[in-house]
Amino acid sequence: MNQTIIQERSGLNQFYAKVYAFVGLGIGLSALVSGLMLTTFQDLLVQIMMNARVWLIVAGFVEVALVYVASSMALKNSPAALPIFLLYSVLNGFTLSFVVSLYTPGTVLTAFVSSAALFFVMALIGVVIKKDLSGMGRALLAALVGLILAMIVNIFLNSSLFDYIISIIMVFVFAGLIAWDNQKIRYVYEESGGQVATGWAVSLALSLYLDFINVFLSFLRIFGSDD
């Protein structure tokens, strides 16, 4: 095999490893904070649930702002991109603990294992598939906007069946996005000639982190519909 090809594959593998190191760090921080809230700081969780839910709303708005800032900083290759992403991961772990607390441990475990398995399969597809998934990715993003609007409408309808259907569709949408985002890692590497800025690694890691979290939340709603 040509030495140049070997070097290119080695460089691409290293870039994948860098992106996934950030993804793993983000998910690990979220899991750690969520776990601490559900165990060591359980009394605080209950107090907030009972008397200070407004802080959950505030945290939600802060999360949206952090995602926007982290994405902007990453695309500018700012050194602040990674700390902001990690801060978002910590805050998201905090808010996730309140969602997870509504489900049984068995449901949470089933949702996590299912999410991890789906993520692995779709990530592998995104890595090996040759067909350009850009068109599918853009269509899925448009579908995601529609699903978010449907979720907002369902806040007023409060239909468990509608929520169940939305959750199933969400799984399929984010499964496709996982494949697309993994393919983008290769495209970004190739288009930069192997000289990829760290900011791009953070940006791609943030996308994959959000894919995983949303798949997990969707599986939680599906498996927890009878909790």
pLDDT in tens, 203-218: 999 999 999 999 999 9
Write the single-letter amino acid at 18.
K
Write the single-letter amino acid at 125.
I
Can you give the pLDDT at residue 192? 85
Residue 199 sits at φ, ψ, to 5 deg, of -55, -40
The residues, any chain, with a CB within 8 Å of residue 7's CB and separated by 6 or more, are none
Tens digits of residue pLDDT in 140-180: 999 999 999 999 999 899 899 999 999 999 999 999 999 99
Can you give the pLDDT at residue 226? 65
With residue 104 as reference, give the H or E element that holds it. none
Burial category of 75 from C-beta neighbours within 10 Å (exposed 0-12, middle 13-18, buried 19 and up): middle
Assigned token pair, 183: 């393919």
Q: Are 12 and 189 within 8 A, CB to CB?
A: yes
Could you give the CA distance from residue 192 to residue 189 in angstroms, rounded to a whole number? 5
List, for the chain, all residue ranges whose pLDDT scores fall below the cut of 50.
1
The region, left, alpha or beta by phi > 0 then psi within -120 to 50, assigned to residue 189 is: alpha
Could you give the CA distance from residue 206 to residue 199 in angstroms, rounded to a whole number? 11
Rg over CA atoms, the chain: 19
Length of the chain, in residues: 227
Q: What global pTM score does this model have?
A: 0.94
